[in-house]
A and B are shown apart, each in its own frame.
Chain A
C-alpha cells in the first residue's frame, strides 16, 4: 500500500461557550426541555432581526490568534440558503468570502515523531441549526419533532489544508486542535455532546504525484477513535477502488460505527446551490488593531509553549511534559502540586501514573478528581517522612481518590502507618526465622536470593507496613 499516499483535510465545527446565542439573548445551555432556550429571534419569527454577540467575535479572534491565523480587519456575514426544518429561517447566517481569520497553522507530530505543520485555511463564525427528533415508525405514521434549543448557538468552523498524510496524523491534528481550543476556554470541545464535530475530506494519489485525487467527504464520526477508524477505512476503500480499476466518485459518505464502513449518503449535497449573499440585517464587522492587541493579551499560554516551559523549568522528560500539558486542567493540577511539593519528577510520576490510571478506570476527568493537588503533595511528604511506604502509598492514594480524605486521615483510619520501630520488627524477624529454617540455611550458605523470600514473609506478616529498608538492615544483621 506504500504505492499510495493519502491526503486528508478536516473541517471542524466547534460550539462556543458564550452565555447567550450568537444573535439573541437566549441561553446556550446544552440540553433542557425542547424549545425552552428560544426566543422570537432564534426562531426566525417574521420581523425579527439578528444582533451580533460581541463575545462570539472575541472568541473567534482568540481562536484565530491561537491558530497563528491572520485576523481580518474587516469581515461580514452572509446568508447560506437551504430548506430544512431544523433551520428556522431556511438560511443559515454564516461567513462566505470574508472569514474572520485565515491562513494559520498548528503543529503535530508525524508517524516518526517529527513535527509537521498542518495549515489552517480559514476560521469563520456561524449559527448552529436545531435538531430533528424522529418519531413513530414506517408501520405507524412516521413524523419528526423539531427542537430549536441549539438553533443560534455560536459555531466556529475551522477548515484545515489537505496537509495530513495518515489517519494518525488526522487524529493528532484534531487532538491538538481540541487542546488548543480548550486552553483558550472558548469551548469544552465534547465530541459526545456535539460541541466538537468533525468531517474529513479524503483522497489518495500515487506517492510522488503532485495532483490531488478525487476526494470524498466523510461525516458522522462521533469520537476521536471513530475519526481514525473511518479515515483508515476510507483510504483502504479508495486504494482498493484504484487497484481494481474502478473510479472514485466525489460524494459524501457517512461513517457507520457498527459496521465499521463508510457508506454513500443519498443526499444530493453536491447539487446544492446555497445562493450566498451578504446578510443585509447585520453591519460589517470592523476589527481594530487595538481590539486584536487586547485579545492577544488575554490569550493564555498555549500547550506547545507550556510543554517547552515544563521541560525547562521542571526538568521533566519531554514525554512527561507532553502528557501533562495535554489538557489545561491537568497542567494546572501538576503545577499546583509542584508548587507545594517541588520534586517535579516524583509529582509527574504520580500524576501520570496513579492519578491518570484511576481517572481512566472511573471514566472521569481531572476536574472531577477528589484528590486535590495539595492532598497529593501532602501524601508525597508522608512518604518522604517515612510515615508510609511507597508501596502502601498506592493504597492510601486509592482511598483518597475514592473518598476525598486527606492522606493522614486515611493512614490513621486504616492503620497503615509504617512500622519503623526495631523492637516490633525484630519480633517478627524472630518468628519468620523460626518458621523458615530452610531459606535461612540457604542464605547462610551464600544464596542471596533467599533473603528476598524472608523479607517478603516479614512484609506479609506486617501487612506491608514494616519499613522495608529497616527490615532489610535488621534481617541481614540478625543472619550475619
Chain B
C-alpha cells in the first residue's frame, strides 16, 4: 500500500511515531495524481508548491518535538465552491473563471489552523447544481471504479479524489445529497452535518437554507476527525449554531446494542434497484447481528420531498446567483450595448444550461402571482417533511436507507433528462429540507460498483450516526477496498 491509500488516522500515527514525514505523504499523493489524474480528472486546480511547503512546516514542528493536531500534514482536497484566498474559486462555472477571492472560507481557515496540507480544488457540477459532475463547465470527472461511469455530484471531484488516493480526505458541500450521493457512487464515507454545525462563510451559496459543508473520507474515523476540525460557531455566519459541540472521536465505539433503527418504507419503494436493495438488506442483517433493533417505519410525506426541493432550492439559487452580472468580477461580454445588455448576455453566456434552468425555475416560483402557489406551499410541505422525521425520531435513534436508488450511472445516461437525474437524489434531499445530519458509508458492491448506506439522525446527533456507522464499518471490509485504477489492488 502506498501512503496515499492510507487514512488520516493511520498517517497521523505514523507521523507522530516519526515513521514517515509529511513531505513524503504529500509527495505520494502528488505521485498518485500524476499517475491517475489524466483518467480521473478530479481537480480543477492543484497547489503543489504551497502543499509541499505546508507539509515541510509540519515536519519542522514534529522535528522540534511540538505536538501536532490530528490532521496536521494530511493532504486534503477542497471543492471549488469553497473560497481560497489568492486561489481561483470557480464553482466550475465560466462566469467565475477568473475569480480569486481575497478571503478564505471559515472552514479553510480552520483547516489551515490544523496545519492540513491543501492539495487543490476539485471539480463539481456548476454551482453545485447536479448529480453527476457532468455540469462542470471545464471537465468531466470519472468514477475511479469505472471510468465510463459518473462519480456522482455535485461533489464528484472530491469523492473521486479520495477514492483514487489523490487526496486523503476532502471537503464537499451538500444541498440535496451532493456529498452523500457521490460518496456512495465512489465508495467513500461522506457526511452532511446538521444545518448550522459548520459555518457557510466562504461557501459560494447555492441554496442558503439547505447548504452544508461536510467531509469525504475513506472511513468513519477520518470523517469524525474532519468534522471535529470544521464544526463550530462562526460569528461570520448567523445561521451557525452557538452551542458547544462534542468531540466526535468519542463516538467511535463499536457498540449499538439496543439501538433502535427505523427503515422508512418509502425509501425501499419503486425505483430502488433490486441489487442495491439486496446489499442494503445484508447491511441491515449486520446491524441486527450487532444488537440493533431494526424495524420498518414510515415518512408519509416523502413523495413530496423532490418537488418541494425543486421549488425551494431553485428559488434561493435564483436570488443567490443574481450577483453574477459581470460588473465587479467574473465573466463579462465585451461588446455590450448598455448595462442591461451586459447583464443579460454575460449571464446567458456565463452560466451553463442546468444553472439557467434552475434560475428560471426559481424566478418563476418567486414571481408575483406564483409565490403563494409555489414557494409558500413548498415551505408548508417542508414543515410537514420535518415533522415526519420528528415523529420517527420519537421512536428511533436513527433511520437507515440506501443513499441512492442505484449505483453510479454512465456518462450521458441522464444528462438530457433532468427529472431522471433529479431522482438520483430522491433518498438524500429530504434530509436537507429537514436540516438533519446524514452520512453515507460503503455497504457493498453491485457489479463492482459501490453501494452507499445512509444513516439519518435527529438534529445534532452526529455522534449517534458516527457510532452506528463505525460499528457497521468495523464489522465489514467494504471500506478497505480500493478501485482498480491503482495497480497494487486488483
**If the complex has contacts A280-B209, A280-B316, are A146 and B327 also in contact, measured as CB distance less than 8 A?**
yes
**In the complex, per-residue mask of B359-376: 1 if CB is within 8 Å of any chain A CB, else 0:** 000010011100100010
Q: Is the beta-carbon distance between B366 and A275 smaller than 8 angstroms?
A: yes
**In the complex, per-residue mask of A14-50: 1 if CB is within 8 Å of any chain B CB, else 0:** 0000000000000000000000000010011111111
Q: Is the beta-carbon distance between B325 and A273 smaller than 8 angstroms?
A: no
Q: How far is the CA of A48 from the CA of B203 in the complex (A)?
A: 8
Q: How far is the CA of A52 from the CA of B239 in the complex (A)?
A: 12
A-B contact count (CB 8 A): 98
**If the complex has contacts A89-B323, A91-B319, are A49 and B375 also in contact, measured as CB distance less than 8 A?**
no
Q: Which of A45, A47, A48, A51 contacts B329 (CB 8 A)?
A: A45
Q: Which of A52, A79, A273, A282 contacts B368 (CB 8 A)?
A: A273
Q: How far is the CA of A45 from the CA of B102 in the complex (A)?
A: 9
Q: Is the beta-carbon distance between A46 and B99 smaller than 8 angstroms?
A: yes
Q: Is the beta-carbon distance between A283 and B238 smaller than 8 angstroms?
A: yes
Q: How far is the CA of A273 from the CA of B368 in the complex (A)?
A: 6
Q: Which of B83, B322, B340 contacts A47 (CB 8 A)?
A: B83
Closest-CB distance, A395 to chain B (whole angstroms) = 60
**If the complex has contacts A89-B322, A275-B366, are A40 and B103 also in contact, measured as CB distance less than 8 A?**
yes
Q: Is the beta-carbon distance between B343 and A49 smaller than 8 angstroms?
A: no
What residues of chain B lie closer than 8 Å to A276, measured between beta carbons? 366
Which single residue of chain B is at the shortest CB-CB distance from A273? B368
Q: Is the beta-carbon distance between B322 and A40 smaller than 8 angstroms?
A: no
Q: Is B245 an interface residue (CB 8 A)?
A: no
Q: Is the beta-carbon distance between B339 and A49 smaller than 8 angstroms?
A: no
Q: Is the beta-carbon distance between A277 and B238 smaller than 8 angstroms?
A: no
Q: Is A90 an interface residue (CB 8 A)?
A: yes
Q: Is the beta-carbon distance between B328 and A47 smaller than 8 angstroms?
A: no
**If the complex has contacts A46-B99, A83-B343, A90-B325, are A277 and B203 also in contact, measured as CB distance less than 8 A?**
no
**In the complex, per-residue mask of B186-214: 1 if CB is within 8 Å of any chain A CB, else 0:** 00000000000000111111011100000
Q: Is the beta-carbon distance between A85 and B323 smaller than 8 angstroms?
A: no
What residues of chain A lie closer than 8 Å to B207, measured between beta carbons? 280
Q: How far is the CA of A49 from the CA of B343 in the complex (A)?
A: 23
Q: Which of B99, B105, B205, B323 contacts A90 (CB 8 A)?
A: B323
What residues of chain B lie closer than 8 Å to A44, measured between beta carbons? 323
Q: Is the beta-carbon distance between B238 and A45 smaller than 8 angstroms?
A: no
Q: How far is the CA of A146 from the CA of B325 in the complex (A)?
A: 14
Q: Is B236 an interface residue (CB 8 A)?
A: yes
Q: Is the beta-carbon distance between B102 and A40 smaller than 8 angstroms?
A: yes
Q: Which of A40, A46, A88, A281 contacts B238 (CB 8 A)?
A: A281
Among B89, B200, B366, the most chain A Cβ lie within 10 Å of the Cβ of B366
Among B99, B323, B366, the most chain A Cβ lie within 10 Å of the Cβ of B323
Q: Is the beta-carbon distance between B319 and A47 smaller than 8 angstroms?
A: no
Which single residue of chain A is at the shortest CB-CB distance from B347? A83
Closest-CB distance, B194 to chain A (whole angstroms) = 15
Q: Is A205 an interface residue (CB 8 A)?
A: no
**If the complex has contacts A46-B83, A83-B343, are A281 and B325 also in contact, measured as CB distance less than 8 A?**
no
Q: Is B101 an interface residue (CB 8 A)?
A: yes
Q: Is the beta-carbon distance between A45 and B101 smaller than 8 angstroms?
A: yes
Closest-CB distance, A88 to chain B (whole angstroms) = 6
Q: Is the beta-carbon distance between A281 and B208 smaller than 8 angstroms?
A: yes
Which single residue of chain A is at the shortest CB-CB distance from B362? A275
Q: Is B161 an interface residue (CB 8 A)?
A: no
What residues of chain B lie closer than 8 Å to A144, measured between beta carbons? 339
Q: How far is the CA of A52 from the CA of B236 in the complex (A)?
A: 10
Q: Which of B102, B236, B318 contacts A49 (CB 8 A)?
A: B236
What residues of chain B lie closer than 8 Å to A277, measured between beta carbons? 315-316, 319, 366, 371, 375
Q: How far is the CA of A91 from the CA of B83 in the complex (A)?
A: 22
Q: Is B96 an interface residue (CB 8 A)?
A: yes
Closest-CB distance, B127 to chain A (whole angstroms) = 10
Q: Is the beta-carbon distance between B339 and A85 smaller than 8 angstroms?
A: yes
- Docked complex: B100-138 residues within 8 A CB-CB of A: 101-103, 105
Q: Is A374 an interface residue (CB 8 A)?
A: no
Which single residue of chain B is at the shortest CB-CB distance from A132? B339
- Docked complex: B266-323 residues within 8 A CB-CB of A: 315-316, 318-319, 322-323
* Chain A interface SS verdict (over half): loop
What residues of chain A lie closer than 8 Å to B323, measured between beta carbons? 44, 46, 88-90
Which single residue of chain B is at the shortest CB-CB distance from A143? B339
Q: How far is the CA of A44 from the CA of B102 in the complex (A)?
A: 12
**In the complex, per-residue mask of B59-91: 1 if CB is within 8 Å of any chain A CB, else 0:** 000000000000000000000011100000101
Q: Is B237 an interface residue (CB 8 A)?
A: yes
Q: Is B147 an interface residue (CB 8 A)?
A: no
Q: How far is the CA of A88 from the CA of B329 in the complex (A)?
A: 11
Q: How far is the CA of A273 from the CA of B201 in the complex (A)?
A: 29
Q: How far is the CA of A83 from the CA of B340 in the complex (A)?
A: 8
- Docked complex: B208-241 residues within 8 A CB-CB of A: 208-209, 235-239
Q: Is A81 an interface residue (CB 8 A)?
A: yes
Closest-CB distance, A47 to chain B (whole angstroms) = 4
Q: Which of B91, B208, B363 contacts A280 (CB 8 A)?
A: B208
What residues of chain A lie closer than 8 Å to B316, measured between beta carbons? 277, 280
Q: Is the beta-carbon distance between B363 and A275 smaller than 8 angstroms?
A: yes
Which single residue of chain B is at the shortest CB-CB distance from A52? B238
Q: Which of A49, A91, A146, A283 contacts B322 (CB 8 A)?
A: A91
What residues of chain B lie closer than 8 Å to A282, measured between beta carbons? 238-239
Among A45, A50, A91, A283, the most chain B Cβ lie within 10 Å of the Cβ of A45
Q: How far is the CA of A90 from the CA of B324 in the complex (A)?
A: 9
Q: Is the beta-carbon distance between B205 and A47 smaller than 8 angstroms?
A: yes
What residues of chain A lie closer than 8 Å to B239, measured between beta carbons? 49, 280-283
Q: Which of B238, B319, B343 contacts A81 (CB 8 A)?
A: B319
Q: Is the beta-carbon distance between B367 and A275 smaller than 8 angstroms?
A: yes
What residues of chain A lie closer than 8 Å to B103, measured between beta carbons? 40, 45, 48
What residues of chain B lie closer than 8 Å to A91, measured between beta carbons? 319, 322
Q: How far is the CA of A132 from the CA of B375 in the complex (A)?
A: 34
Among B102, B235, B328, B367, the most chain A Cβ lie within 10 Å of the Cβ of B328
Q: Is the beta-carbon distance between B319 and A51 smaller than 8 angstroms?
A: no
**If the complex has contacts A40-B101, A90-B322, are A50 and B238 also in contact, measured as CB distance less than 8 A?**
yes
What residues of chain B lie closer than 8 Å to A81, measured between beta carbons? 319, 322, 366
What residues of chain B lie closer than 8 Å to A281, measured between beta carbons? 205, 208, 238-239
Closest-CB distance, A206 to chain B (whole angstroms) = 33
- Docked complex: A224-265 residues within 8 A CB-CB of B: none
Which single residue of chain A is at the shortest CB-CB distance from B379? A278
Which single residue of chain A is at the shortest CB-CB distance from B369? A273
What residues of chain A lie closer than 8 Å to B371, measured between beta carbons? 275, 277
Q: How far is the CA of A283 from the CA of B238 in the complex (A)?
A: 6
Closest-CB distance, B360 to chain A (whole angstroms) = 13
Q: Is the beta-carbon distance between B238 and A83 smaller than 8 angstroms?
A: no
Q: Is the beta-carbon distance between B235 and A51 smaller than 8 angstroms?
A: yes
Which single residue of chain B is at the shortest CB-CB distance from A44? B323
Closest-CB distance, B301 to chain A (whole angstroms) = 21
Q: How far is the CA of A276 from the CA of B83 in the complex (A)?
A: 28
Q: How far is the CA of A92 from the CA of B315 in the complex (A)?
A: 16
What residues of chain A lie closer than 8 Å to B99, measured between beta carbons? 46
What residues of chain B lie closer than 8 Å to A46, measured between beta carbons? 83, 89, 91, 96, 99, 101, 204-205, 323
Q: How far is the CA of A153 from the CA of B201 in the complex (A)?
A: 21
- Docked complex: B42-70 residues within 8 A CB-CB of A: none
What residues of chain A lie closer than 8 Å to B235, measured between beta carbons? 51
Q: How far is the CA of A49 from the CA of B339 in the complex (A)?
A: 26
- Docked complex: A255-305 residues within 8 A CB-CB of B: 273, 275-277, 280-283
Q: How far is the CA of A238 from the CA of B293 in the complex (A)?
A: 78
What residues of chain A lie closer than 8 Å to B201, measured between beta carbons? 47-49
Closest-CB distance, B91 to chain A (whole angstroms) = 7
What residues of chain A lie closer than 8 Å to B325, measured between beta carbons? 83, 85, 90
Closest-CB distance, A248 to chain B (whole angstroms) = 24
Closest-CB distance, A149 to chain B (whole angstroms) = 14
> What are 8 pairs between A and B in contact, CB < 8 Å?
A40-B102, A40-B103, A47-B203, A48-B103, A81-B322, A89-B322, A90-B323, A275-B363
Q: Which 3 pairs across A and B sit closest by C-beta, in order of nearness?
A: A90-B322, A280-B208, A275-B366
User: Apart from A83-B325, A89-B322, what are 9 other A-B pairs with CB-CB below 8 Å?
Assistant: A40-B102, A46-B99, A47-B101, A47-B202, A49-B239, A51-B235, A90-B325, A281-B238, A283-B239
